Amino acid sequence: MDQSKIDALRAKPVPAFSHLIDGRHCAASDGATMEIISPIDGQVLTTVARGTAKDMETAIASARAAFEDRRWAGQPPAARKKVMMAWADLIEANALELAVLGVRDNGTEIGMALRAEPGSAAATIRYYAEALDKVYGEIAPTQGDILGLVHKEPVGVVGAIIPWNFPLMIGAWKLGPALAMGNSVVLKPAETASLSLMRMAELALEAGLPPGVLNAVTGEGAVVGEAMGLSMDVDVLVFTGSGATGRRLLEYSARSNMKRVYLELGGKSPNIVFADAPDLSEAAKVSAAGIFRNAGQVCVAASRLLVEASIHDDFVAEVVKAAEAMRVGDPLLVDTHIGAVNSETQLRQNLGFVDTARAEGGDVVTGGDRILTETGGYYMAPTVVTGVRPDATLAQKEVFGPVLGVTPFTSDDEAVRIANSTVYGLAGGIWTSNLSRTHRMLRDVRAGVLHVNTYGGPDNTVPLGGMGQSGNGQDKSLHAIEKYINLKTAWIKL
């Protein structure tokens, strides 16, 4: 990465962003805006439109009109593929601009942002562009003079509510399969990370996506998100974020048209380290990165470290060493390992969890404090807490910050019990050289994604989805397409 190019992009003023509806930029219906605060320095970066329920209704109406006249759904698969490939090319061509804009907005360190945001988004859009003309209907094995056909059709209008931690990556997980199947989409970005996603939506229009097929409305979840959830004209709602918001969206579905709702919610992922792990030093470094990169603001973050008692002290010392070697600071410097916490609200919440952990008997062996206060930004030292009971708050509640809770175990069965002792089931890790143990743990630990002797890295070829209160449905892979299609049976007498 070229630091001088990053610095030049950092120096550029960020223009105000407005809604994108029916292929045009438009202000909020009442003219209201809201300030965007950069977590890097706590200063106002720009403004975005503060959307109203009326704005959301207008965007949904635009998406519905685009779907009904089939300006996108009616195009041949090859034509849709051409547009999506061009979109991916534009994302890639503007990758550094998108990454720097996103970092200024949400604080992710630039090295991770380049790979995980525009890099991942472009790859995801290409993946579904390649897949869209390979989704076939079916011929049923009926008997007699009957031909049974199963058609796969787009559902209609998709509402997508995107979180602030990886808006481009997670946005592409929703947009890729939804648009590939011919749906129209209305995006609702996060209040504290709208900018790069809005810019990516603009690039879709530049690539040739017809007006109205992709609309984007900024604003508060309690206003525009609620309007989307209660709409009678949204057919599918997809969301990544907190369990509390997920519950509200399910309620909105029941109160409106019973739209399908797919949720990727929180996690409290166990990272289980056995004494026979193939390389304990490597396991410690990867475990530290698995919780502390992006300041712990990762849905699958390895936030619970379960360590076999016989190696507990030595392994924790290695993790602490790795954590203390990670540089926290300005996320637009290429040598920064851990960037800023997304907002002051999130930072206060993180520190509150540390206070609670201490009160419940945990031992903060490193970190636990706000740092770099002189910058005006929101920074927190990577924090390791030992002596965390399986029923402690730190073991049960998602922090979504750079806070690691450590719990010892003495047997495989105990490790499984502790791993499965939360309401979540999103991800986990297993470190062992024992093949039989590996397969038993893969069988018994309840999680949608399990890493073995590594942590992080699954690509678009495999699904991501949770169990329990970590949600339902799948992002990524061909399985994600199933959320965005309807099956229609044709029963034909010959």
- As annotated, the active-site residues are 264
Sequence-distant (≥ 6) Cβ neighbours of residue 422 within 8 angstroms: 268, 395, 396, 468
Burial class of residue 297 (count of CB atoms within 10 Å of its CB; 0-12, 13-18, 19+)? buried
**Tokens at residue 297, please?**
């603001």
| Residue in 268, 269, 272, 270 with CA at minimum distance from that of residue 432 | 272
Q: Tokens 């994604």, residue?
A: 449
Cβ atoms of 380 and 295 within 8 Å: the answer is yes
Cross-strand bridge partners of residue 49: 33
Side-chain-side CA neighbours of residue 488 (13 Å): 8
The angle at the Cα of 257, spanning 252 to 261, to the nearest 5 degrees, equals 55
d(CA 162, CA 356): 30
> Between the CA of residue 445 and those of 232, 432, 456, what are the distances in Å?
39, 14, 17
d(CA 182, CA 488): 16
Residue 425: φ, ψ to 5°? -165, 55
